[in-house]
Amino acid sequence: MLFRQLEYFVALARERHFARAARVCYVSQPALSEAIRKLERELGVPLVRRGRTFEGLTPEGERLVLWARRILTDRDALEQEVSALQTGLTGELRLGVIPAASSTVCLLTDPFCTEHPLVRVRLETSLRSQEIVDRVRSFELDAGIGYPDGVDCAGLTVTPLYEERHVLVAGTELLAGRSDAIGWADAVEMPMCLLHKGMRGRTLIDEALVARGLTVNPQLESDSVAALLAHANTGRWACVVPEPWLRTLHPAPEVRVLALLDPCVTARIAVITPAAEPGSVLTRAVLDTVRRTPIDDTLRRASAFAAR
């Protein structure tokens, strides 16, 4: 069994097409097909369902592709470990990020890249927490940043990163006569724009409202926090967003930010990594950066400054 055969098999499982898999592996389609057939003969089980085109993996293939990914990940980790001993950390860090953390991930990746200038970082910032967990488990991501609560993180390492707090952003005319905080009963009476139902940030809001016997019927929904803030900046809308976003997308001068009380809605953001030991040297390096970087303190200071 050769690493090359496993690489071809994993590429085919990902691309679901012989020609595309051959293209990404820089080989001819017959060479890729023959390498996978040889792997099947060596393992003694069929891996691929074949017709005139690729028809999917067999049940055996679905199980063994996880082992193939794990073997290749361990191979890469070994090479990175040797390289780090010789010249410093190199390679590519594959990091999945939920949209809610796309404006704060720089607080981790910036110091990481400063510490390890030879490492490339590939960010995917439109993933949901469950997808991040699944892809970390299948070794398609080295690490992920997401909401650990509400998803099954068994067998993975969850390292707290920071706690996000949701705040109300609205035009000053909508908030005339109000202090620096507002209750949910008053907030839902405003012309509201919110995240789509099913998104984690929206679920937190809906749970807070149900606990108070309240409901909300936003006229506008979006899958983008940036879009919500853009509408709030017109002065005619109110939205509820994670406070860390305000570090990057500053509200307009005629817009105010109020704390939401009774209850205060918060959520844990964490780094999710494989638990295997010794694990990837890149994953260990990311966790070292997390432990040395006070991201939660940085966001708290920024929140206190913005509230002045």
Beta strands 266-274 and 156-171 are antiparallel
Instruction: Cis check for the bond before 263: say yes or no (omega within 30 of 0).
Output: yes
Q: Which CATH architecture has domain 90-307?
A: 3-Layer(aba) Sandwich (3.40)
CA 259 to chain centre: 26
d(CA 300, CA 54): 52
> Quick one: tokens of 245?
């976003």
d(CA 243, CA 305): 12
Domain ranges of the chain: 3-71, 90-307
d(CA 47, CA 66): 12
Q: Which residue from 93, 229, 243 is spatially nearest to 162, judged by alpha carbons?
A: 243
Instruction: Cis check for the bond before 278: say yes or no (omega within 30 of 0).
Output: yes
pLDDT tens digits, 269-301? 999 999 877 678 889 899 999 999 888 888 877
d(CA 157, CA 163): 17
Q: Is the pTM of this model over 0.75?
A: no
Strands (DSSP E) contained in the chain are: 48-50, 54-57, 91-97, 119-124, 143-146, 156-171, 181-183, 192-195, 220-222, 238-242, 255-261, 266-274
Q: Which CATH architecture has domain 3-71?
A: Orthogonal Bundle (1.10)
d(CA 49, CA 10): 15
pLDDT tens digits, 40-60? 888 888 898 887 778 888 888
* Confidence (pLDDT) at 53: 77
> Phi, psi (5° rounding) for residue 82?
-65, -45
d(CA 211, CA 272): 29
pLDDT tens digits, 68-100? 988 888 888 787 777 766 557 888 999 999 988
For the residues 178-200, what does the mean pLDDT come to?
90
For the residues 118-141, what does the mean pLDDT come to?
92
Q: Count Cβ atoms within 10 A of the Cβ of residue 32 and give its class: 0-12 exposed, 13-18 middle, 19 or more buried.
A: buried
Cα(first)–Cα(last) distance of the chain, in Å? Answer: 64
* Confidence (pLDDT) at 307: 46
> Phi, psi (5° rounding) for residue 241?
-140, 160
Secondary-structure percent of the chain, ordered helix, strand, coil, rounded to 5: 45, 25, 30
pLDDT tens digits, 11-25? 989 888 889 999 999
d(CA 203, CA 55): 38
Give the largest Cα separation in the chain, rounded. Answer: 77
